[in-house]
Chains A and B, each alone.
Chain A
């Protein structure tokens, strides 16, 4: 199935080739979890601080069990702040 992966800030360097504006559609296996995608992209776990699926926060403890659906957007940031 196809999902959209969005990697921001200092995680941008982990985006697959062809990404535009920090996002790209990728194929993942049906039933893939958030953690599966994080692992497949070799993202350092300690840098995956803010993880959103369609804008909704996924806590670290939920990432193994949170499965993705076709067309969903997975967005990830390292620890960031502003104001």
Chain B
């Protein structure tokens, strides 16, 4: 139990919804969510498929602990071949949608084909039906969610949808649920839009059953106590949110600034967690209204924010004079340091638009940064931008382009290509700060060496959430390592990758691991699920998932040569801070990583490794 043991297969071309049993042999090997859905994708989709063709599939997946009493047990993921990258994509979201899907009695939804006209999927417990979405196509996420709840007269319905960006083919479109939680990266919303699928609306009343309720109650209660007593998860994250990192990473000299030209941003303190707490001169209120939590979460790291009502972005626009999803660290970095913009309200507005129109603020901000560098070089001109002065630090350029990108209009349509295609178009592909087509998040790998290897080897393109060695290298969790040294980082990256693979397959939030070890996680899964789930078995699941994803990418045409970083990080030394004079030492770390992984010198899993993992 804990799995609902049911999959909903939706053929959009035929308009059919069919129930089928969850493959429990695969669940035993891949657990759920990221791992199990990746297994389905690998079995059912040709790795060489065009991500936007009807032959690609889009899987909505929960984990066994989704919808249970486990803290943070509300996670769900979108698994597909990513539109931004052409690699396997798994984008993880929180909020309440995932638990609701589980309450309705479904572990997963597999969408295949393409609808002839825009549709949405309506689920009420066992009943599932494709509905005409003509009234919602061309609408924002916020309009769609409000409209669906009103149409069905059910305010407790949970909705995951795409905005206009996903409809218009913005390469980094998200799927947004509960207004401002996002399956954000790799263009999973773009794939959803290509299928003419606007939204999934779900209401569930069946609940979730666990294998051993008494043992589960004890395991989850014990684990919640660990979160509550830990200084990070019990106090730091709820009070300051992820944004607390802005000053940390800037002081460390690893805050990528102006398209990675610099590693420290002079405006960092203006856009930090501390700044979000400062009362404004105009109305005496701070940017941060309150913290927020997803389903079942006892951490509550989310930021709910308001914009100064006198700020140019929202003056006379009452729809944005609201408390809504505020800046998290990665978004604040991409919208701010990557573009040189230090206007906290402008960043918050751009973030609102990213939520409303469902596109990834990391890729968006980083692509603006690349475009600003091309503008500085004179390669992009006002003729290209429609008159927008794309200068470093120009807040109005940022917020204007957020709205244009959301609607796929003007120069916003070019920003919607992502930095890889944009810089290629203008003849300077080296200026895309990305790996496998996906833009970096908020850590410069010249100042945090392990993150260079993390980015280069990430199966979904540059990503911090696949192996967050920042925890060890900067924050000292679980133990401190030297961020400027590449020694031992191959093993560290692998340890993080495998553990994260297990957490992402369970229905839990990876932020729990700031306090929990696998020793806290395994008893919860073991009590909830049939079978025996030890720490060792979970780490094996993580390693298996990693190799499965790798195999998909290799079959898709990626090679070890794609495990690299932009020249800027390998050749141009950091100019300031503790990392001054350093580049990333990927060339030293990568061979050791391949060896420890049991891969060939070219980065291919050996037959022995595949056999050991039963792949």
Residues of A within 8 A of B (CB): 6, 8-10, 12, 21-23, 47, 49-50, 52, 54-57, 59, 73, 75, 77-83
Contact check, A79 vs B480: say whether CB atoms are below 8 A apart.
Answer: no
Contact check, B243 vs A81: say whether CB atoms are below 8 A apart.
Answer: no
Closest 5 CB pairs of A and B: A82-B242, A79-B231, A82-B245, A21-B269, A55-B578
A59 to B328 Cα, complex, angstroms: 28
Contact check, B240 vs A50: say whether CB atoms are below 8 A apart.
Answer: no
The closest CB in chain A to the CB of B515 belongs to A81
B248 within 8 A of A: yes
The closest CB in chain A to the CB of B481 belongs to A57
Residues of B within 8 A of A (CB): 230-232, 235-237, 239-245, 247-248, 251-253, 269-270, 273-275, 301, 328-330, 464-465, 468, 470-471, 474-477, 480, 482-483, 510-511, 514, 577-578
The closest CB in chain B to the CB of A59 belongs to B480
Q: Within 8 Å CB of B330, what residues of A?
A: 83
A34 to B328 Cα, complex, angstroms: 31
- Pick the contact of B231: A56, A78, A83 (CB < 8 A): A78
**Given A10-B239, A55-B578, A57-B480, A80–B470 Cβ distance below 8 Å?**
no
Q: List 23 A-B contacts (CB under 8 A).
A: A6-B251, A9-B244, A10-B236, A10-B239, A10-B240, A21-B270, A21-B275, A47-B231, A54-B578, A55-B578, A78-B231, A78-B236, A79-B231, A80-B237, A80-B248, A81-B236, A81-B475, A82-B243, A82-B245, A83-B330, A83-B468, A83-B471, A83-B510
**Given A21-B269, A50-B248, A80–B236 Cβ distance below 8 Å?**
yes
A78 to B247 Cα, complex, angstroms: 13
A10 to B232 Cα, complex, angstroms: 11
A56 to B582 Cα, complex, angstroms: 14
Q: Within 8 Å CB of B483, what residues of A?
A: 57
Contact check, A49 vs B476: say whether CB atoms are below 8 A apart.
Answer: yes
The closest CB in chain A to the CB of B250 belongs to A55
Q: Within 8 Å CB of B578, what residues of A?
A: 54-56
Q: Within 8 Å CB of B477, what residues of A?
A: 81
A22 to B248 Cα, complex, angstroms: 12
Contact check, A79 vs B252: say whether CB atoms are below 8 A apart.
Answer: no
Most A CB atoms within 10 A — which of B247, B329, B330, B470? B247
Min C-beta distance of B66 to chain A, whole Å? 20
A81 to B237 Cα, complex, angstroms: 7
Q: Within 8 Å CB of A81, what residues of B?
A: 232, 236-237, 242, 244-245, 471, 475, 477, 511, 514
A59 to B275 Cα, complex, angstroms: 28
The closest CB in chain B to the CB of A54 belongs to B578
Q: Within 8 Å CB of B514, what residues of A?
A: 81
Contact check, B251 vs A82: say whether CB atoms are below 8 A apart.
Answer: no
**Given A52-B252, A82-B329, A83-B245, A8–B274 Cβ distance below 8 Å?**
yes
A75 to B252 Cα, complex, angstroms: 10
A83 to B231 Cα, complex, angstroms: 16
Q: Within 8 Å CB of A75, what residues of B?
A: 247, 251
Beyond the given A77-B244, A78-B235, A83-B330, could you list 19 further A-B residue pairs with CB under 8 A, ordered by the A residue number? A8-B244, A9-B273, A21-B274, A21-B275, A23-B269, A47-B231, A50-B248, A50-B475, A56-B578, A78-B231, A78-B236, A79-B230, A79-B475, A80-B237, A80-B244, A80-B475, A82-B241, A82-B245, A82-B301
Contact check, B247 vs A22: say whether CB atoms are below 8 A apart.
Answer: yes
Q: Within 8 Å CB of A12, what residues of B?
A: 274
Contact check, A83 vs B470: say whether CB atoms are below 8 A apart.
Answer: yes
Q: Within 8 Å CB of A55, what residues of B?
A: 251-253, 577-578
Min C-beta distance of B218 to chain A, whole Å? 27
Most A CB atoms within 10 A — which of B231, B245, B510, B577? B231
Contact check, B236 vs A22: say whether CB atoms are below 8 A apart.
Answer: no
A75 to B251 Cα, complex, angstroms: 8
The closest CB in chain B to the CB of A73 belongs to B251
Contact check, B239 vs A9: say whether CB atoms are below 8 A apart.
Answer: yes
Contact check, B465 vs A82: say whether CB atoms are below 8 A apart.
Answer: no
Contact check, B329 vs A80: say whether CB atoms are below 8 A apart.
Answer: no
Q: Within 8 Å CB of B239, what residues of A?
A: 9-10
Q: Within 8 Å CB of A56, what residues of B?
A: 578
The closest CB in chain A to the CB of B234 belongs to A79
Contact check, B511 vs A83: say whether CB atoms are below 8 A apart.
Answer: yes
A77 to B235 Cα, complex, angstroms: 13
Min C-beta distance of B239 to chain A, whole Å? 6
Contact check, A10 vs B235: say whether CB atoms are below 8 A apart.
Answer: yes
Q: Within 8 Å CB of A6, what residues of B?
A: 247, 251
**Given A8-B274, A55-B577, A83–B465 Cβ distance below 8 Å?**
yes
Contact check, A83 vs B242: say whether CB atoms are below 8 A apart.
Answer: yes
A55 to B244 Cα, complex, angstroms: 16
Q: Within 8 Å CB of A23, what residues of B?
A: 269
Q: Within 8 Å CB of A57, what residues of B?
A: 480, 482-483
The closest CB in chain A to the CB of B240 belongs to A9
**Given A52-B252, A81-B232, A83-B245, A22–B468 Cβ distance below 8 Å?**
no
Q: Within 8 Å CB of A80, what residues of B?
A: 232, 236-237, 240, 244-245, 248, 475
Q: Within 8 Å CB of B244, what residues of A?
A: 8-9, 77, 80-82
A56 to B241 Cα, complex, angstroms: 23
A15 to B244 Cα, complex, angstroms: 17
Q: Within 8 Å CB of A59, what residues of B?
A: 480
A61 to B297 Cα, complex, angstroms: 35
Contact check, A9 vs B236: say whether CB atoms are below 8 A apart.
Answer: yes
Min C-beta distance of A74 to chain B, whole Å? 10
